[in-house]
Amino acid sequence: GGIDTQTKDAFLVEVNKRDAATLLPLIQRHVLPGTTVWTDLWAAYNSITAVTGLAHQTVNHSITSRAVNGVHTNGV
């Protein structure tokens, strides 16, 4: 799922798998070009930029819930 941080519009998609082959096509389908995607360090997200062309920033939840640059996944 995702949330537009400006409009607060959201989407949610139920999936059977949480792997890159499942998640990346959904990100391409639901996220507008030019968007910066914020995720945690789940391995399936590692190739977001390479596959989708979207900017990608991460937060390491083993260290903090909000990165020093403000990146978080708390709304999803």
Cα distance between residue 33 and residue 64, in whole Å: 28
- Looking at residue 48, its pLDDT comes to 97
- Looking at residue 15, its pLDDT comes to 97
* Cα angle for residues 10, 5, 11 (degrees, 5° grid): 10
- Looking at residue 61, its pLDDT comes to 82
- Looking at residue 23, its pLDDT comes to 97
Cα distance between residue 61 and residue 38, in whole Å: 12
pTM beyond 0.95: the answer is no
Render each residue's pLDDT in the chain as its tens digit; 76 residues.
Answer: 999 988 999 999 999 999 999 999 999 999 999 999 999 999 999 999 999 999 999 998 888 777 667 888 887 7
